[in-house]
Amino acid sequence: MELRPEYLLPVIAKTLQDVVLPVLDEHQQVAQEQLKLAIGFLNIMAQNGPMQFAFDVDELRRLTALAKALIDAVGGSAASTAAIAAAKAAGEGTGVAPAEIVAATRQLRIGVSELIEQGHARGDKALDATISGLVNAFSRVQLDRERAWVLPMGFENGQDAVPSIASQLGLPA
């Protein structure tokens, strides 16, 4: 039996599509809509699952760069510098477990948020503009990644304008 998610998830989605969805009463529109969303997300998970680790490592590396830039702009505590060092080590390490990447990213997000708050608390308009520019640049890339991740759901107008998640991560298509 094949137990890999990229094989099991499409089977589950097809079962829901072919067996469960047709027996829903036509008046249960909310249930039909929610089931279609669940099917869509199962398909996305199957399609993109093999890229999840690359996605997470990419986010951690970009978040580490953002944190470094914020420390340069705002100044940082020993704790924020240590968090960046730990995140950098996780993002560059070989044999690092996926859960360690996710945990490091979550911790670094907290540190980045604290740096942003510290910077804005100073009331310096030039620093505020610098912080906003750094965060917006990071966010644009992250949003592009996330839009590409859910592209198969069909929510995007002009889907051809959104580069695939594989191409954005530098992976073979």
Domain extent, residue 102, equals 52-149
**Overall number of domains in the chain:** 1
Q: For residue 79, what pLDDT is reported?
A: 66
Q: For residue 152, what pLDDT is reported?
A: 84
Query: Is 98 contained in some domain?
Result: yes
CB neighbour burial string for 102-117, b if at least 16 within 10 angstroms, e if fewer: bebbeebbebbebbbe
Q: Tokens 């039909």 label which residue?
A: 32
Cβ pair 87, 105 in contact under 8 A: yes
Query: Is 94 contained in some domain?
Result: yes
pLDDT means over runs of 10, the chain (173 residues): 83 94 93 93 92 94 92 80 73 81 91 92 96 97 93 80 92 85
pTM, two decimals, is 0.83
Query: Is 102 contained in some domain?
Result: yes
Query: Is 157 contained in some domain?
Result: no
